[in-house]
Chain A
């Protein structure tokens, strides 16, 4: 959960698709979708916190608020059988 300039948001949302008993695949359970920080920023206000220059080059953004590390949300439940 990020918290900056008063607003808080989560960078990932979930929903559960309907699963009928006639659907052949095992239910995937939750579906995930990314909601990155820029969706919550509006016009960037002045004075946001910055990464040090070298670090910014590695992260892909100068602005701490806009940094959003992406991890495969399905990683933990890779199916070993099937």
Chain B
């Protein structure tokens, strides 16, 4: 069960009308290593992983939904007052033709989200290594978007999200350390 707090994890501010940035941000909305994929991946893996790390997956998976909400807010703010012409010029003409201004779970190139983006191998090490890789890929995506963006307020929010990827990766790496510890072996001193 979840408890919802009606506020964003970090304030989202956008200073320019720039639908092109909204297009890039869709990678983190419905992309292979976006926040939706992350949340679904971690929350689903919880059932078949040793008890010691279930709580970690619950916490991080839940936080990913908070990030998803931030990305949605960014995309919405960057496009809400844009005209169809502006959207077309930003490469969002196809999006407008199908969805008007609605958000949809697809990546920056318009490819719709699929469950094939995520894995649940059932092997705790394989699953955690996938999680670490996903965090690093999301971190890289944030970097590339920051590199292309000249909106300081948006970049501030993106830097917060990138930092969270760093922390999550660290925690998943620690989870691997916990699971590989030789706890079944008798220690004789």
Give residues in B with beta carbon < 8 Å to A: 10, 139-140, 142-143, 146-147, 159-164, 166-167, 169-170, 173-174, 177
Give residues in A with beta carbon < 8 Å to B: 34, 36-38, 41-44, 57-61, 63, 66-70, 72-74
Contacts of A37 on B, CB cut-off 8 Å?
166
Among A42, A43, A59, A72, which residue has its beta carbon within 8 angstroms of that of B163?
A59
Contacts A38-B173, A60-B161, A68-B166 aside, 7 further interface pairs with beta carbons under 8 A come to A38-B167, A38-B169, A42-B177, A63-B167, A70-B146, A73-B147, A74-B147
- Complex Cα distance, B162 from A67, in Å, reads 10
- Complex Cα distance, B170 from A44, in Å, reads 8
Among B147, B167, B174, which residue has its beta carbon within 8 angstroms of that of A43?
B174
Chain B nearest Cβ from A34, distance in angstroms: 6
Chain B nearest Cβ from A41, distance in angstroms: 6
Known: A44-B174, A60-B10. A38 touches B166 (CB 8 A): yes
5 A-B pairs with C-beta separation under 8 A:
A34-B139, A38-B170, A44-B174, A60-B167, A72-B146
Contacts of B163 on A, CB cut-off 8 Å?
59-61, 66-68
Which of B139, B143, B163, B177 has most chain A Cβ within 10 Å?
B163
- Complex Cα distance, B91 from A62, in Å, reads 39
Chain A nearest Cβ from B134, distance in angstroms: 14
Among B143, B146, B167, which residue has its beta carbon within 8 angstroms of that of A66?
B167
- Complex Cα distance, B135 from A38, in Å, reads 12
Query: A43 and B177: CB pair below 8 A?
Result: yes
Among A44, A57, A63, A70, which residue has its beta carbon within 8 angstroms of that of B162?
A70
Known: A69-B159, A74-B147. A60 touches B164 (CB 8 A): yes
Contacts of B167 on A, CB cut-off 8 Å?
38, 60-61, 63, 66
Contacts of B161 on A, CB cut-off 8 Å?
60
A-B pairs with lowest CB-CB distance, top 4? A60-B163, A38-B170, A72-B147, A60-B160
Contacts of A63 on B, CB cut-off 8 Å?
167
